[in-house]
Structure formats: structure tokens, C-alpha cells
Chains A and B, each alone.
Chain A
């Protein structure tokens, strides 16, 4: 099976812009989670989507939003970008059949905000 894919792999934006990141899960996986990785804060959970519904949310401002499509692909949007949003954004997919299961990660999108 193909793994989790994320596009784009690299992105450079300026403050105030918005950005959309995409994630395609492993075939058959219905849950998609997003994480932000920074040197200062480490890996932090953003949100999880399952069957097109947000099932869980981390402690991030409303500028961070997401959605999931009927084919389980997910997008994450960040509006009004700030310098502190520069990070590696990781998407992970899992079967979603249980409340807790094993997550498999994509290669990440490196976002740089100038």
C-alpha cells in the first residue's frame, strides 16, 4: 500500500497570507490527524478528522482549521499567517475503527513564514 502523502513538501509564505496543506491517507484509513512540529514546542496535536467530522481538537487558535473529504483526504488551512507558524506540519492516518489506534505519518510539509 502507498503511504501517507502530503503536498506540497515545502512552502514559503509571508505574514498575513493564508495557506492550505493537503494530506492523502493510506488507502482504507478513515482517520487523519495533524501535528505541528517546532524546535521550541516539539510535536503538538492540532486536530483529528474521521468520516468528514472533527473528532478531536488541540489547543491552537481558530486561525488553524481543517476539513476532511468523503475520500478521507484532508486539508489544513492556516489564515493570517504569523512568523511563529513556521514549522513542519505532519499528517498521520489511521484506520479509525477504534477510538485509539496506530497512526502512520506522512513526510510532512515544511512551512516557512517570512
Chain B
């Protein structure tokens, strides 16, 4: 079965510094997307970044970038110049074995200290 693992239940970062959140996944699919979603206290799930598995180039969205290691099935999120508004729960997700179903990791709580 498809699994997504986030091994860091909680992380802390000082404002303006860089933090990396880890994610590993297991899939037998050849064509899939990987995602990082952010869920602030409002509980609204917000798409942070998307990586297409067939693309070797790592995705970047402003201060957010990923390190995608396909062979190792690793998909980490790097947040540069951390801001107070980045504090949230971050979920890594991958498409499941069939169709559009997303499989999520357990989440990492990110705390940003001023």
C-alpha cells in the first residue's frame, strides 16, 4: 500500500533562518505528483508546492523549494527566510495507487520563533 512518512513531528526555526522538513514515500506508480500542503490554525489546507515525478528539476515557489530524490523516494521541503506566517502544520502528500486519491503523511508542526 502507498505510504508517506514524515519523521519529524515538530520543528522549530528562528525567524529569517532556513528550515528543512523531511518526507519519504513509497509507491509503485511511475507517474505521480508529490505535494506539500500547509495547514495553519484556521485548518484551511493550502498548497505550498508541487513536484511532478518525471521532472528531474526540483520545484521552487518563492521561499519554498524541494529536494526531490526519486531513487531514494525522498521529498523534503526547504523554507528560506522563515516568517512568522509560516508557522503551521505541514503535510507531505503523494498520489495513491489509483487515480486522484492523495495519501498524506502524519504532518510536521513548524514553529517560528521571533
**Total cross-chain contacts (CB, 8 A):** 65
Main secondary structure of the interface of A (DSSP, over half): strand
Residue of A nearest to B96 (CB): A45
**How many interface residues does chain A have, given as a range?**
20 to 34
B12-20, B64-72, B99-107: which one contacts chain A? B99-107
Is the beta-carbon distance between B43 and A42 smaller than 8 angstroms?
no
Q: Using A105-B44, A107-B44, A108-B44 as known contacts, say yes or no to A100 and B104 having CB atoms under 8 A apart.
A: no
| CB proximity of A80 to chain B, nearest CB, Å | 25
Q: Which of B31-60 contact A (CB under 8 A)?
A: 31-33, 35, 37, 42-47, 50
Q: Cβ of B45 and Cβ of A33 under 8 Å apart?
A: no
Most buried by A among B31, B32, B43, B47: B43
Residues of B within 8 Å of A56, CB to CB, are 98-101
Taking Cβ atoms with an 8 Å cutoff, the residues of A that contact B are 31, 33, 35, 42-43, 45, 48, 50, 55-56, 58, 88, 90, 92, 94, 96, 99-108, 110
- 17 cross-chain CB contacts under 8 A: A33-B101, A42-B104, A42-B105, A42-B106, A55-B99, A56-B100, A90-B45, A99-B100, A100-B31, A102-B33, A102-B50, A103-B100, A105-B46, A106-B44, A108-B43, A108-B44, A110-B43
